[in-house]
Amino acid sequence: MRFPNGQEVIQVFEKLAPKSLAMDGDKIGLQIGTLQKPIKKIMITLDVLEDVVDEAIVKQVDLIIAHHPVIYNPLKTVITDNPSGRIVGKCLKNDITVYAAHTNLDVAIGGVNDLLTVALELEDTEVLVPTFEDSLKKLAVYVPEDHAEKMRNVLGSAGAGYIGNYSHCTFNSAGTGTFLPNDGANPFIGEQGKLEHVAEVKIETIFPGSIQNKVINAMLKAHPYEEPAYDIYPLENKGPTLGLGRIGVLKKEMTLKEFAEHVKSSLDVSGVRVVGDLGSIVRKVAVLGGDGGKFWSKAKFKGADVFVTGDIYYHVAHDAMMEGLNMVDPGHNVEKVMKQGVQKYLQSFITEKKYDTTVITSQVHTDPFQFM
Ligand SMILES: [Zn+2]
């Protein structure tokens, strides 16, 4: 049986949700326990309630990955007579590590908000509230001619060469590379002590700075040379914009009443609160997982017909209603879409690496509200 170390799991997870994407002051990362241990079972959860920890104990979970931080306000004491102390105590006693990815998972490409747009079947989506502008960089790598096509594919698959709706964009120039293998070298081409001339291609491509490690590691892995030659340049060009919430369009327009039903079924909730005329037509939809009422004017400004978010306040609903923006509140708990999303992401890493780790989602219902 083969199991990854906790740090390896988190390194892979942070490619999905880099810590650098989190809002200032958010409480993210390792919160309880250690990552210096083999991970046989991972459980993904939206919230870390005491019931969720009990579930983790029964299921012999080594690592919990949660969206909502288990410790948000600093704990002054850890007393196991109250729930917050018992959660920490039970985790430590049962060697359960807790790691949180909060606003970084909201902002992440493929994170909570993107998962919500997939569930709601929105198309042509873009960011609703920009919070982070990525840098752009250029990579130039020199490869022997017969390895150029493979390298172009590898770089494209790693996320380099995206320009608008085009991927795998590169520029290629042919030339001659020279090198002299010295003592201790084990050259792919040529021999020690002899100056070698090789027909090479210089492949140039761009990539977002946030995925530099991924792109460079993929390039190094695919390069035949012992010591690949490459250059990385910073660019003045603007990189992709990341942020909270998304805005997109439905395949076909529907009434607000039909849309509210669509939200209910696609986000798996038993009720929604609706603001606006149920007969009005909606096509352009803004969505922001969690407590997003304060961003209603962004949704209005970007031309949304309806804004889907949780925890909407009475006066916010009045303001939006007076401005003619429909709202649908399916609750904060719809962020539970992250459970399947993160499970799928980690499972593909486990499968690819042929590890024996199990990745499960918590089955505890953590929505505190019920409809009567
Ligand atoms: Zn939330």
How many angstroms does the Cα of residue 86 sit away from the middle of ligand 1?
22
Task: Give 141 Cα–ligand 1 centroid separation in angstroms.
Answer: 42
Place of tokens 């200032």: 24
Cα 164 to ligand 1 centre (Å)? 31
311 CA distance to ligand 1 centroid (A)? 10
pLDDT at 326: 98
Q: How far is the CA of 12 from the centre of ligand 1 (A)?
A: 22
User: pTM for the whole thing?
Assistant: 0.82
What's the token pair of residue 61? 């979970």
CA dist., res. 338 & res. 115, Å (int):
7
Per-residue confidence at 133, pLDDT binned at 50, 70, 90?
confident
Report the pLDDT averaged over residues 146-157: 96
Cα of 110 from ligand 1 centre, angstroms: 16
For ligand 1, the distance from its centroid to the CA atom of residue 267, given in whole angstroms, is 15
Left if phi > 0, otherwise alpha if psi is -120 to 50, otherwise beta: which for 117?
alpha
Cα(321) to centroid(ligand 1), Å:
24
- Beta-bridged to residue 29, according to DSSP, are 100
Beta bridge partners of 97: 63
Query: How far, in Å, is the centroid of ligand 1 from the Cα of 287?
Result: 13
- How far does the centroid of ligand 1 lie from the alpha carbon of residue 47, in Å? 9
- Strand 326-329, strand 171-179: pairing: unpaired
Looking at residue 100, its pLDDT comes to 98
How far apart are alpha carbons 230 and 220 in whole angstroms? 10
Long-range contacts formed by 283-286: CB under 8 A, 24+ apart? 283/249, 283/250, 283/252, 283/253, 283/254, 284/247, 284/248, 284/249, 284/250, 285/120, 285/122, 285/247, 285/248, 285/249, 285/250, 285/259, 286/128, 286/245, 286/246, 286/247
pLDDT higher than 90, residue 211: no
131 Cα–ligand 1 center, Å:
17
Q: What are phi and psi of 182, to 5 degrees?
A: -95, 180
276 alpha carbon to ligand 1 midpoint, in Å? 24
User: In the chain, at which residue ranges do the beta strands (DSSP E only) sit?
Assistant: 29-32, 41-45, 63-66, 97-100, 122-133, 136-144, 171-179, 196-208, 229-234, 241-255, 273-275, 281-291, 306-310, 326-329, 358-361
The Å distance, Cα 211 to ligand 1 centre, comes to 26
What percent of the chain stands above pLDDT 90? 90
Structure confidence by residue, pLDDT tens digits, 291-344: 999 999 999 999 999 999 999 999 999 999 999 999 999 999 999 999 999 999
Q: Long-range contacts made by residues 364-371, C-beta under 8 angstroms, separation at least 24?
A: 364/45, 364/49, 364/51, 364/52, 364/55, 366/45, 366/46, 366/47, 366/49, 366/51, 366/52, 366/333, 366/336, 367/269, 367/331, 367/333, 369/331, 369/333, 370/270, 371/270, 371/271
Cα 294 to averaged position of ligand 1 atoms, centre (Å): 14
> So what's the pLDDT on residue 141?
98
Lookup: tokens for 85: 């102390």
CA of 230 to the centre of ligand 1 (A): 42
pLDDT tens-place string over residues 62-93: 999 999 999 999 889 999 999 999 999 999 99
64's CB contacts (< 8 A; 6+ apart) are 42, 43, 44, 45, 48, 52, 53, 56, 91, 96, 97, 98, 99
CA dist 257 and 30 (Å) reads 42
Residues 48 and 88: beta-carbon distance below 8 Å: no
Give the integer Cα–Cα distance in Å for 161 and 153.
10
Cα 2 to the chain's mean position, in Å? Answer: 26
The whole-angstrom separation of Cα 250 and Cα 230 is: 44
- Report, as an integer, the average pLDDT of 179-202: 91
Q: How far apart are CA 28 and CA 75, in angstroms?
A: 15
Give me ligand 1 centre to Cα 289, in Å. Answer: 7
**Tens digit of each residue's pLDDT (9 = 90 or more) over 92-123:** 999 999 999 999 999 999 999 999 999 999 99
CA of 300 to the centre of ligand 1 (A): 22
CA of 319 from ligand 1 middle (Å) equals 23
